[in-house]
Amino acid sequence: MSETSSSPSDAAIEEDLDRIRRFYRDKFLPANAWSTLLPRPYLYLRQRQRRLRDTLIACGIDTPERLRSIDVLDVGAGTGTNLAWLVELGVDPARCTGIDLMPESVAVARERLPQLRWLAGDFSSVDVGGPFDVILLVAVLTSIKDPELKQRIVDKCLSLLRPGGVFFFYDYMSRKDERGSDNYKRLSYAELEGYLRGRKARWFKRDYLRASLAESIVTRFGVTAAELVQALGVFNIEASFAYVRV
């Protein structure tokens, strides 16, 4: 094999990336199913922001001065929702970087938040700079089927953190391995623990209210009522947050 030839694993990763691009371009992005004008996405976004805030405070990023001093990277940043909220919380926009596989999403983010740094492409192969104090990986790994690509992404996230830095993670989890669909596969908790290579995560498990209940309660009684039911945890799904300090 020549030096310029791709390895079988690289070819498999590129095939997976092409599949993800097609799915997002043809189905996910046009559907706009996660618009926060809709009841369930709004409820879920508020919980994500709550857990991110909890994480920052637990890790000592708990003053305006400390917030202004951190460098943040959002992997799979989409149109910039997470970074926009962090800027509102007090993070310096000049110290925020977002990267997404889809150039269409990055174009929207760049227009929406031009003071932030935006990159389009495959995170595992793009130079994003660094190091960072906080790295977000939110709803990314369930779109990826190739285990090596998932491992590369987690490894790179952890390697880009400063000592004491925070890796913040969210995805739709499973208590056992699942086959998944053509475009989506839930992670098992054991799978993610393997990608973390022995690092211990602090979990917020089963943190989202079941979709049908979320839609019904937010629509009929408002988001505060839905948050109270969600806080009980009884009717929640395996949508879980975690963070790791390095």
Could you state, in order of their start, the residue ranges of all structural domains in the chain? Answer: 8-245
User: Does the bond joining 131 to the residue before it have cis omega, within 30 degrees of 0?
Assistant: yes
Interacting residues of 218 by C-beta distance below 8 A, sequence separation 6+: 39, 40, 42, 43, 225, 226
Give the pLDDT confidence score for residue 168 in this predicted structure.
Answer: 98
pLDDT digits (tens, 9 = 90+) for 70-123: 999 999 999 999 999 999 999 999 999 999 999 999 999 999 999 999 999 999
Give the residue among 214, 220, 208, 242 at the shortest CA–CA distance from 47: 208
Assign 9 a pLDDT band (cuts: 50, 70, 90).
confident
Cα within 13 Å of Cα(74), Cβ side? 28
CATH fold, domain 8-245, is: Rossmann fold (3.40.50)
Q: Which two tokens stand for residue 205?
A: 């498990």
Name residue 170's beta-bridge partners.
138, 241
Please state, in angstroms and rounded to a whole number, the distance separating the CA atoms of residues 169 and 204: 10
pLDDT digits (tens, 9 = 90+) for 165-177: 999 999 999 999 8
Q: How big is the CA angle at 238 (ends 85 and 216), to the nearest 5 degrees?
A: 75
Q: Which residue has the tokens 């690509």?
A: 149
Give the residue among 135, 164, 173 at the shortest CA–CA distance from 52: 135
Give the residue among 240, 243, 165, 167 at the shortest CA–CA distance from 202: 243
More confident residue, 70 or 2: 70
Calculate mean pLDDT across residues 171-198. 92
Q: What is the DSSP string of 157-203?
A: HHHTEEEEEEEEEEEEEESS-----SS--PEEHHHHHHHTTTPPPEE
Q: Tell me the residue type at 202.
A: R
Q: What percent of the chain has pLDDT over 90?
A: 89
Calculate mean pLDDT across residues 155-181. 95
Global pTM value: 0.94
- Cβ-in-10-Å burial (0-12, 13-18, 19+) of 47 comes to buried
Name residue 120's beta-bridge partners.
100
Please state, in angstroms and rounded to a whole number, the distance separating the CA atoms of residues 229 and 234: 8
Phi-psi region of 116 (alpha: psi -120 to 50; beta: other; left: phi over 0): beta
Q: Is the dihedral of CA 151, 94, 242, 59 positive or negative?
A: positive
Assign 6 a pLDDT band (cuts: 50, 70, 90).
low
Give the pLDDT confidence score for residue 197 in this predicted structure.
Answer: 96
Give the pLDDT confidence score for residue 3 in this predicted structure.
Answer: 45
Give the pLDDT confidence score for residue 232 in this predicted structure.
Answer: 97
- Across the chain, what does the average pLDDT equal? 94
